[in-house]
Structure 1
Amino acid sequence: MTMPIVAVVGRPNVGKSTFVNRIAQVDDAIVHEMRGVTRDRSYHNADWNGLEFKLVDTGGIEMGDDDAFQGSIRSQAFAGANEADAIVFLVDGRTGINADDEEVARILRKTNKPVFLVVNKLDHPGRSDEMWEFYQLGLGDPWPISALHGHGTGDLLDELVAVLRTVELPAGADEEEGINVAIIGRPNAGKSSLTNQLTSGERSIVSDVAGTTRDAIDTHVVHDGVPYTIVDTAGLRRKSQIDQDVEYYGFVRAMRAIDRADVALLVIDGTLGMTNEDQRVAGYAHERGCAMVIVLNKWDAVDGPERKAQIRERIADRMTFVGYAPVIAISALTGKNVHRIWEAVDAAYASYSKTIPTSALNGWLAQIRESGHTVSQGKAILRMKYVTQTASCPPRFTFFVNRPDLVTDNFERFLENRMRQQFDLTGTPIELRFKKKD
């Protein structure tokens, strides 16, 4: 359903992500003492006293700092505040006010939205003497809390929810998650650029610095009447190459996003061609059983048809274990051919959730039996008697046979290939199981 939105803003390291995790009762937002860990804005569901609302975790705002990311982080933070129905402005009760706090307060005083000035890291409740300096920010009474221990958060939420109940939400259809699409790939392949193209806005920060995205970021969109949840994930590489615990947390969030995905968009940097890392990331999605579309990004920067043919040939050769995944060449930067991704995602999801009638499956099995193709060991011959679909998302098929131990990997691949020829299962893995039937 449509829910009110609460943006959490403040300078770096005041405890925004800890606060979000406390209120949402999850550990989705990455918490770390290093500044700049949160960059994009991320959304988290929460509820209090029967009211559900969305919390927006934003990057730390530093008004005078213009490093490689700070301008975009500021934009993302203020974008979160602009779309919110209420704003929680978090400050650090231990260090007191600084120039960035004063500048953010100046901007927030101009908004017509309710602003809650929340003084965090006050781990000993009742110390009112620590609160007086925060009145000079001009945002009313400050709320003392400890996001780490939970002190004061209940009183704050009572007042926040009372304000949210007065908010008039836009009329419209209830929000649906729809098809869950995870955008995965190694660092700097163009995942965030593709996310922004698919969501029609600068939803994720884009930079040529590898590792820009750290959290998994959900965006709900509707395209041609179909709802989708697009999840931009941190770049995936082998765990032995992860040298920061922040990057490790990003890796874990990305793997969780794959776990709940219906369809994974594997983004490959076309200018580099397919690498071992791309193959490994494909393996992550394949092992978790989600449908897949391979996206060759930066295709407009690949020189000549011969080089393009080589890249496609290498993908076909090295990605046989996900040979069911269609390959689409695009440019996320310019938007060229991005529209083709929607059709591919829809087709992959249709295959992923498909249910094939038992009569059709056994008609196909009769043709296999008539062809005489089977396996044997000595005098023992595999006889397949019956097949039925026992699951979907992804599809699973159970064969009842006289000797399951006779089934070889080659014969299983043969059955899968013949099944894919007979039934349209483009984009999805399938699982074949064999049970004994006398």
Structure 2
Amino acid sequence: MRKFRARRQVRTVREEWMHDRELPRVALVGRPNVGKSALFNRILGSRESIVHEESGVTRDRVERWAEWQGRNFRIVDTAGMNAPGQEDSTLPAQIQEQVRWAIETSDVLVQVVDVTVGVTPLDEMVAAFLRRAGKPVVVAVNKVDHHGRADGELDFLRLGLDPLMSTSALHGGGVAELLDWIVKHLPAPTEQDSSEAATVVEDSDEGWDQADEPLDESEEESVEDWGDESDEGDEGDASEEWDEESEDSAPEPRRRFQRREGPIKLVVVGRPNAGKSSLINALVQDSRVLVSEEPCTTRDAIDVPLQVERDGQIQRYLMIDTAGLRRTAKISQPVEYYGSRRTQESLKRADIALLVLDADDGITRQDQRIARMIADYGIGCVIVFNKSDLLTDPGRKRRLDGFLKRQLPFLSFAPNVLISAKFSRNLDVLLDAVARVGDQIDRQISTPELNRLFERAMQRYQAPMVYTGRQSKSSTGRYRQMPKVAKIYYSTQVSTRPLRFRLFVNDRRAFSDNYISYLTRCLRDDLGLEGAPVFLHLSNRKREREES
């Protein structure tokens, strides 16, 4: 068996490309606790699905896009199939419907079995179900972690499926051969598929340490340091350095500008039972994700593509359904902890956050914490008040607006919408707000317009003079500190998603945090940047000094 190395051999398809057409789909199916999620993570080279020894951890189907040997495809992780009447979940019907959908829409099926347990009646039931599907099926005999377990593969001939392939999600053994077989049985590639290039994941140590670790049911994502989590998404002070390049002169805007392409990623976040999954199902008009009154129904981060027609053009979004966030002190189950970590990781890769609040409950302390997290990650935001059908007071919306100004001042730039996901009310208003924010986070401002804007702002309110330690010698021979007047020589935009601007100034120390906030407000008000975060990065411009 060739040892599988995801970091060098699997490539991830560019998201802007994979939304343009349907790719072949490969589904991993089987009974609970056979290692489907571990194998899914091994193929992708990262922890996309939650893996835990607890039975029934995976509920929704988790779908990602990957490439092997030049072929691009989608791979789907599914929940464990249970015999009728033997489900140990409170959501058996919806969960099994998700599995059946994955089987019906996939081009290749992989039944994952556990060599350490052997053939079970539930394995035989799954095999019979897959045979009736009439599609290419391979049996991945998982957990063959050493040669002593290889002989157990022959027991699975009783399933009546061919071929059998030994795999080890823990060490990566046999996964390369499994992918070779999958690619061979995918539908013939179209001309566009074979000509399209995929983006290769850089072969670096950063971000791949998890891919080289064991990825089976017994893997330990350390829970001993739950209370030591730091906010990795903190954008830092507004005057921090944007890069380490020379600051002797202003950068050339076209060369330096960074524009992110592809569909806008919408992450849906909020407290448990705020209606996040219901909102996604209402937008896509399908039961794509599980919905239940049981708290913490969603565990993994679920990617759901969405297409919206606006002004005769198709706009593409990638919505990300996430687990509800609770206070760390209230998290007692490891699976819930892993789900909250997936939510934070989704915030890192998102462009816009839909902060879903319960309109009946108002804004709670936990809502404030989540809102602060969104502001720290520096992404666009739309505040969604859900469950409007429960409101009986017509003046409730006006009071909610007042609550926002007082309790979420750091998201004062974000628009808010009152909806009902249950009855699909005001969803068009929500989509319009999302479209406006999407336009703003992709906005490009010309350098002359930007310079004129900051010039007017400084004329309206000059920055207070500050003492930066500079001294001059008076006529009496004494040294005294000289005040510094803030000056902006040049400004330019350096990126979108989020909007970042670099200001070349005489001295960063002359710009207080309050004055930077003032410049940010002027920029937002003059340009009408609704829902888009703005970051100003100050750089000292070195000026030639005459030697006396």
Corresponding position of 1:34: 54
Q: CA deviation at 1:49?
A: 2.5
Distance 1:169 1:107 in 2: 34
Residue 84 of structure 1: how far off its partner (Å): 0.4
How far apart are residue 231 of structure 1 and its match?
A: 0.8
Distance 2:53 2:155 in 1: 25
Cα distance in structure 1, aligned partners of 2:175 and 2:536: 51
Residue deviations 1:149-188 (CA, integer Å, cap 9, x gap): 23333332222221115478999xx999511111111211
How many aligned positions are there?
437
Partner of 1:13: 33
Question: 1:93-114 CA deviation, whole Å, 9 max, x = no partner?
Answer: 2222333223222222211211
Alpha-carbon offset, residue 48 of structure 1: 2.7
Is 2:29–2:81's contact at 8 Å kept on the other side of the alignment?
Answer: yes
- Match of residue 243 from structure 1: 332
The answer for the alignment partner of 1:396 in structure 2 is 500
**DSSP 3-state at the match of 2:353:** strand
- Unaligned 5+ runs, structure 2: 1-17, 199-260, 468-482, 544-548
Residue 200 of structure 1 pairs with residue 304 of structure 2: no
Closer/same/farther in 2, CA of residues 372 and 333 from structure 1, 3 Å limit? closer
**Whole-Å Cα distance in 2 between the matches of residues 14 and 360 of structure 1?**
60
Q: Is the 8 A contact 1:365 1:386 kept in 2?
A: no
2:275 corresponds to which of 186, 190, 198: 190
User: What residue number does 1:70 align with?
Assistant: 92
* Contact residue 24 and residue 47 of structure 1 kept, 8 A: no
Q: Deviations over 1:302-360 (max 9, x none)?
A: 22123333222112211110111100111111111112222212211221121111211
- Match in the other structure for 1:431: 535
- The alignment's C-alpha RMSD in Å is 2.5
Residue 434 (structure 2) pairs with residue 330 (structure 1): no
Aligned to 2:349: 260
Q: 1:178 corresponds to which letter in structure 2?
A: P
The question of whether the paired residues in 1 share the 8 Å contact of 2:62 and 2:77 is answered with: yes
Deviations 1:47-103, CA, capped at 9 Å, x for gaps: 332222211000111122343122211111111111100111112222223332232
* 1:3 and 2:23 are equivalent in the alignment: yes
Instruction: Check 1:31–1:402 CA distance in 2 against 1; reply closer, same or farther (3 A cut).
Output: same
The alignment status of 1:405 with 2:509, answered yes or no, reads yes
**Partner Cα separation in structure 1 for residue 172 and residue 517 of structure 2:** 55
1:376: which partner in 2?
465
Select the residue among 101, 106, 113 that pairs with 2:128.
106
Which one has more relative contact order, counting CA pairs under 8 Å at least 6 apart?
Answer: 2
Offset of residue 35 of structure 1: 0.9
Q: Where does residue 154 of structure 1 map in the other structure?
A: 176
Change (3 A) 1:128 1:286: closer
Q: Percent identity?
A: 39
CA contact (8 A) 1:279 1:319 kept: yes
3-state SS of 1:396 partner = strand
Distance 2:389 2:136 in 1: 47
Residue aligned with 1:324, SS: coil
Q: Does 1:318 align with 2:422?
A: no
CA contact (8 A) 2:144 2:150 kept: no
What amino acid is the match of 1:316?
K
Alpha-carbon distance, 1:288 to partner: 1.3
Determine the C-alpha separation between the residues in 2 that align with 1:421 and 1:128. 67
Q: Secondary structure at the match of 2:32?
A: coil
Letter in 2 for 1:200: Q
1:143 equivalent to 2:161? Answer no
Q: Measure, in 1, the Cα distance between the counterparts of 2:122 and 2:536.
A: 59
**Which structure has the larger Rg over C-alpha atoms?**
2
The runs of 5 or more residues in structure 1 that have no matched partner are none
SS of the counterpart of 1:210? Answer: coil
C-alpha offsets along residues 186-214 of structure 1, whole Å, 9 cap, x if unaligned? 21111111111222211111111111111
Distance 1:82 1:436, change over 3 A: same
SS in 2 for 1:305: coil
1:86 aligns with 2:108: yes
TM-score by length of 1: 0.92
2:122 alignment partner AA? D
- From the superposition, tell whether residues 403 and 162 of structure 1 become closer, same or farther in structure 2 (CA, over 3 Å): closer
In structure 2, the CA distance between the partners of 1:252 and 1:407, relative to structure 1 (3 Å rule), is: same
Equivalent-residue separation in structure 2 for 1:169 and 1:191 (angstroms): 39
Please report the TM-score for the alignment, with normalisation by the length of structure 2. Answer: 0.75
